Structure 1
Amino acid sequence: MGLRINNNISAMNGHRQLLNNDKSLTKSLEKLSSGMKINRAADGPASLIISEQLRAQISGLNQAVDNSETAVSMVQTTESALTEVSNLLVGIRQLAIHAANEGVNDVNMLEADQLELDNALNTIDRITNNAQFGVKKLLDGSTGANGVGIGEGVEFLGASPDTRPSPIEGFEVRVFQLGTQAVKAGTVEFTQDMVNNGEEITIAEGGKTVSFKAEPTDSVDQAIGKLRNEIKENGLNLELIRHDDGSLELKHNEFGGSAKFSVASSTAGLLSSESRVMESAVPGQDIQGSIGGEVATGKGRVLTGGKGTKVDGLQIRYTGDILTERDAGEGADAAGRVGVFQNSLIFQIGGNPGQKTSVSLVNTNTRVLGRGVQNESGFKSLRDLDLRNAIGAESAIRLADAAINDVTRTRAELGAFQKNTLESNLRQLRINVEEMTNAESIIRDADMAKEVTEYTRNGIMVQSATAMLAQANQMPKTVLTLLG
């Protein structure tokens, strides 16, 4: 081996090894002090990209958990307000039933019932105006799908979160078949002779039966009045009509094919074609039509948009008489239009775009509850209720039942939304956060046992390299022995 003093290759090699070992020791110190094996992009570019993507996803999922928990709180706040409204509606129905007991009630009792009713209605409106989450109103109609009927006889009833907003001109409503009532019309005049002979009429509807027999001492008008009273007192949902020619007609108050009744009269032709034979009324028909060019389901006079269409859940009532041919093209006469404005509550319940859900809340204002219910008093909503006469009390029961159904249905929808959507989603989100955090930890976090081992090894290697560098630096001195 040659002896050289200008270049100490052994010292250079020892220096290089010392630098490498010192760098490894420094990295081990960084990993042990931070607990992470990726402290900078150079530590693992590919792993850094994956871990940062996972970290962003985890952050989004954690926020989605917070969003879902806030949504649950909002739903619970709404449900508690609706519970109070429901309790008040049950009380209103009870008042109406009490007021309908005309055999016992006097004027003072009816006035007291009306005062209590007005107070309950005012309380419902107060709850409607005050129920809010933060500054967002919950039950005033601003957090649901709203709409307006355009055209005579077109009435907007409601919509769902799945109903799309309509164009400016609204969705076109076409009616191919009108909703009609079940009827049974007589062909002969109801005469005084029939009354004198004790005319007998039997009517069956909705599981209830009226058996009427005319009193010979009554006039025709008195006999008709008594028959109407028996129909009403027995809860039959029918209307008795006397035409100008003296013939009688029974008509169901509800529209559609599900409303049925039967009747028999002792005189053939008065209401039944044969004497004392129960005959079914001519059945009513359900409305048929389309909304926004989409086929809608008809029940009574109500059209409901089909599932999965742009008018999904949209309901309108049509009381007009304009019909359109099924195969009529553009420009054909339409029954009217309905405008829809979508303001449903939308919740971001996932960590990615499009992971949303929505829910609509009912408007519990007393000018909206009970709207669209056919009744003898002509009440348009709960706000119009008047219990000071028996007919008004009977109508109030109908409207209260409809309002209770609307509020109860909304409560059930909210309960299902909370249980099956929000809480189920929360459980899944927490599992996703756990799994993704574990995946991110595997990529980014340091294995402390491994790093301690590496640190110990690198420390020894630094010490060894330092000692060997010192030895290498001493090697050129051997040349001096040659000069001695």
Structure 2
Amino acid sequence: MKICYNTQAMIANNALTRNDDRLSQSLQKLSSGLKIVDAKDNPAGMAMGKKMNAQIKGIGVASQNSSDAISVIETADGALAEVHDILQRMNELAIKASTGTMSDIDRSTIEEEIEQLKQEITRIAEDTQFNGQTLLNGNFDLKGYTNKIDAKVGYYSDGVTPGEYTIDSLTVTFYSDGSINPASVACVCNTTGTPAFPAGSSVSEVQGNTIKITCPGDLSFEINVKIQPDRDAAGNVIMTAPSNPKTLSNVELDITGIGAMTMQIGSNEGQTLDIRVSTISLDEMGIKGLSVANQASAIDGIDGISGAIQYISAARSRLGAYQNRLEHSISSLDITSENMTAAYSRIMDVDMAEEMTEYTTIQVISQASMSMLAQANERPAQVLQLLQ
């Protein structure tokens, strides 16, 4: 027996220290509810858990973004619904002005209402906003450009591949109101190169001063090009005759494919949805020069309003498709978040029942270690009995 160095007490103290550390760790887990409190508890699990947690929080924000996108669509669609009603009223007025029982004086009264309705369409397009951003004035429509001052890309469908397209030659003649004579249009589209007009592309329709280039073999392909007439010093349209048409050569169309409102609907880079909101204007709808001042113009106006209604219907149809997609996206995000949260919980959360059992066991062992340390500390005193 020795009194200078109490080895037994050191052994008992080391055991007590280890048990106390285990007890502290168990208390920390029980009090926090986490299985991995510090990186040392499970380095790989900590790295995986934090990455999953970032994705879970990102999915939550993406779901909110998708809801905001639906709000944008509902705002735009609500305004377009009113434009639809206005066009229906204009159609009724044009049909009314087309009948022979109406005099030109009567038509002038109808003309006044038509003009007011046209101004209201313009006001709706300029004033419809979401979070301070104007939606219907073309800010969020796909952009396109040309190399000719007299030609402008108006609209192109989502199926048009971005790139440079070339119209080799284009000839048109204009009426006095600036609209194109449909029978005068001659257009040669370049079908070579990448990208290029699909074979068979041609002008399928003329609305006002806009020509629509489509391909019978590819229904998703459509490009609308506006042609501006020449004007005199007073700003009046210079009418052109079939013998002297307006001719444009090598018209390059730069189809950018950009301009839509990009919504982040996922937690990772590139998980976006581009929401295209069509430009709403009298020019785009082909009713800028609409008039019912006489019977002939009123009859022509019926066809123009019909085209405008189709234009608005197509715009609303696209927005509706976006909204349906976003609703599915939100449902998918919610399910993904639910499953990832369950996986994250399995990695990070402690099993309270199991940990409480562990805590109780360690507590008993720690008490035993404390008792043995007390016994070991008393052993050197027993040596004094030998010295009596």
TM-score calculated relative to the size of structure 2:
0.82
Give the 3-state SS of the residue equivalent to 1:351 in structure 2: coil
User: Shift of residue 56 of structure 1?
Assistant: 1.0
Q: In the alignment, what sits opposite 1:118?
A: 115
In structure 2, the partner of 1:303 is 213
Deviations 1:364-400 (A, max 9, x none): 1223211xxxxxxxxxxx1211101111111111111
Long gaps (5+) in structure 2:
173-180, 205-211, 229-247
- Alignment partner of 1:416 is 2:321: yes
Amino acid at match of 1:409: A
Q: Which residue of 2 aligns with 1:450?
A: 354
The superposition leaves residues 243-283 of structure 1 with CA deviations (integer Å, 9 ceiling, x where unpaired) of xxxxxxxxx96799xxxxxxxxxxxxxxxxxxxxxxxxxxx
1:401-431, Cα deviation, whole Å (9 max, x unpaired) = 1111111011011101110x21111111111
Distance verdict in 2 for CA 1:157–1:413, change over 3 Å: same
> Alignment RMSD, CA only?
3.0
The corresponding residue for 1:329 is none
The Cα shift of 1:159 comes to 2.3
Aligned partner letter, 1:410: A
- TM-score norm. by structure 1 comes to 0.66
Superposition deviation, residue 135 in structure 1: 1.1
* Match among 343, 349, 357 for residue 273 of structure 2: 357
Letter of the 1:347 counterpart: M
2:373 to 469, 474, 477: 469
Residue identity opposite 2:166 in structure 1: V
Q: Is residue 66 of structure 1 aligned with residue 64 of structure 2?
A: yes
**% same residue:** 30
Structure 1 gaps of 5+ residues are: 181-251, 257-284, 321-332, 371-381
Report the counterpart of residue 253 of structure 2 in structure 1.
338
Three-state SS of the structure 1 residue aligned to 2:337 is helix
Alpha-carbon spacing, 1:306–1:291, altered in 2? closer, same or farther (3 Å):
farther
Q: Distance in 2 between matches of 1:368 and 1:36?
A: 60
Distance 1:65 1:450 in 2: 36
1:54 aligned residue (44, 52, 55): 52
* Aligned residue pairs, count: 350
Distance (whole Å) between structure 2 residues aligned to residue 93 and residue 443 of structure 1: 65
User: Which digits, 9 at most, give the CA deviation of each residue in 1:170-207, with x for residues without a partner?
Assistant: x341348x899xxxxxxxxxxxxxxxxxxxxxxxxxxx
Change in CA separation of 1:291 and 1:402 when aligned onto 2, cut-off 3 Å: farther
DSSP 3-state at the match of 2:359: helix
What letter corresponds to residue 143 of structure 2 in structure 1? N
Instruction: Give, in whole Å, the separation in 1 of the partners of 2:10 and 2:194.
Output: 87
Contact 2:111/2:291 (<8 A) preserved: yes
Please identify the structure whose Cα radius of gyration is greater.
1
1:19 to 17, 20, 30: 17
- Residues 225-374 of structure 1 correspond to what in structure 2 (within 5 A)? 288-290=189-191, 293-297=194-198, 298-301=201-204, 302-304=212-214, 315-317=223-225, 335-340=250-255, 342-370=258-286
Change beyond 3 A, Cα 1:317–1:291: farther
Instruction: Check 1:431–1:291 CA distance in 2 against 1; reply closer, same or farther (3 A cut).
Output: farther
Equivalent in the alignment of 1:439: 343
Q: Give 1 or 2: higher helix fraction.
A: 2
Distance 1:59 1:319, change over 3 A: closer
